[in-house]
Structure 1
Amino acid sequence: MNVRDFYFDLPQELIAQDPLEDRSASRLLVLDKHTGEIKHRHFRDVLSYLRKGDCLVINDTKVIPARLFGVKEGTEAKIEILLLKRRENDIWETLVKPGKKAKVGTVISFGDGLLKGTVIDVVEEGNRLIQFSYEGIFEEILDRLGQMPLPPYITHQLKDKNRYQTVYAKHEGSAAAPTAGLHFTKELLEEIVAMGVTIAHVTLHVGLGTFRPVKVDEIESHHMHSEFYIIEEEEAKKVNEAKKNGGRIVCVGTTSCRTVESASTEEGILKAGSGWTEIFIYPGYRFKILDCLITNFHLPESTLVMLVSALAGRDHVLHAYEEAIKERYRFFSFGDAMFLTDLHHEEES
């Protein structure tokens, strides 16, 4: 399967630069994953497409203000780093710009020495391992000095840090937000629970590998970066109960989808536990546990478009994207949403 099979032409002005004032006011394109039928709605209409007995799976990871600006000790050269993965003993895997100034042994000072980082190794793709030293609590220092690591296609400065967090963000560790969750408000989640839908929490710390372009022609040769996930016993039980009783498993976002698919048995039982996943879902993949997906509109030729195509078929998905472009939907992280479901089933119920 060729990467060009997932290309579509996206007008630049449809890339959302700012979040909406009201999270749930974004638009919702509802796509029947079997027939390709499309309906245009607003996000809060998601209530019409969920059913009593369903289980909504959300990723409660929290984005850390992972972008830091510092200076190289000795030369005062400006250096920007992005925290990617926490290792042990205050060591992080990071992306450093400009990389050539960050040789092993380089010391970088942030916030007039409030935080210092020493480059201790170079890892794959030129990323650096940096060991940090500081007084106090790392998270608090990061909160003071760090900026939200917005994706490169967002050029506006974010006024409110919390708008790049879901309302249920809890466990710190992501370099990017699980953006499908940005549409939910606390009120909407309460209404969903009142309908008889169970909400299960999983945690997957999103790495930047999610956005990494596919650089190979044949997508089967693409290698995903590993990301860390945790599923508690109680939450796995909610998913398995819903499945057993005939409810649907509705994942909010590709990150929740990758988490449950990584941790499920071939028979469709979700296992509690934690680990690293490198799962790459593209057409031909057989879903073990997920039934429906709520997701945003993704970049052309991205692994995320491939994942969505695995669920609803490439032709249906690309046609839906064409419709979304025609209807001027907003794309990417702060954009509108899509619900891949089973429409004729909804009408009957």
Structure 2
Amino acid sequence: MRLWTTTVASARGAARAAQEVEAAGWDGMLVVDSQNLSGDPYVALALAASATRRIGLGTGVTNSVTRHAAVTATAITSVNRVSNGRAVLGIGRGDSALAHLGRAPARLAQFERYLKQLQAYLRGEAVSFDDIDIPHEVAPAMSGLHLHDAPPTSRIGWIADGAKVPVEVAASGPKVIAIAALQAERVMFALGADLDRLSWAIGLARKSRKDVGLDPDGIAFGAYVNLGCHGDIGAARNLVRGGLTTFARFSVMHGKTSVPTSSGDREVLEALHSNYDMKAHTRGDSRQATTLTDDFVDRFAIVGSPDRCIERLRSLARLGLDKVAISGATRGASVEDAAVGRDLLVRHVLPGMRA
């Protein structure tokens, strides 16, 4: 199972951060795409690619609203060329990137249509002009220009000359999991580290493929996981509380959960939903972080000693996940405890997972 780490998209810090990630032994690095909160992810990834040789590089995650599918395909394929084939495209329906534009996550139909177009572009195939969602009040049809000749469809010809970038869809609810199972190379579950929830999600994805005649084994599975490594369990929990609120909220985004959930966990998720403050997104000292009980944190995140973290990660591998994207301490957590956690991860957890 490959272990990736997540970080912000900082143009100034991307090269140095990527070198540190590679030297520490990680398999890859994902950067967020949230235009109001961080820098441009593709600039950061290109700089990271130029400064490294081995690690994978990708978005964690972009969305289907703030960029046209052709623009996204061009950007990530450019990173793939610079990195000699090390890029992946992580995508979801959108969260903070859309919230800071006054919007909720993309509608399911738009998201699925976008994924189909994105995959066509990444394969070097054509997309019909009729399928492109640019409102006529924004830009009228090209036919009104009465040109002598013009492209009949939308196609990025130069992309067809190289390797296709794999698409990974971040998914938490059953409808997005089903869409991802049909449209992506990998489903990246945002359901925490709870084995029962992940087992349910894998089963649903496999069934979704089988129902339409696709090979249920023809797709890979991974997960986004919050991990806090520390000898003090209380400190370990506090390292991940802020980041865990973000991922847990995906299961109750619209006020109720559609994932198999116990009554106790449902109460926690409902409290999280009603207390969520987007202005304190991911912060460990936020109002929403206080809604997560210790029991919830222990099951939905991976917290504790290096040995405990290694065992939890191995249980995910046994479940069938081949990739885990790990989010560590976020703003608002203890700086000293975060430093201890990073050191334990690099010195014990990463080598322990290779043993």
State the TM-score, normalizing by the size of structure 2. 0.29
TM-score (norm 1): 0.30
Q: 1 or 2, which has the higher helix percentage? A: 2
Structure with the bigger RCO (C-alpha within 8 Å, sep 6+) is: 1
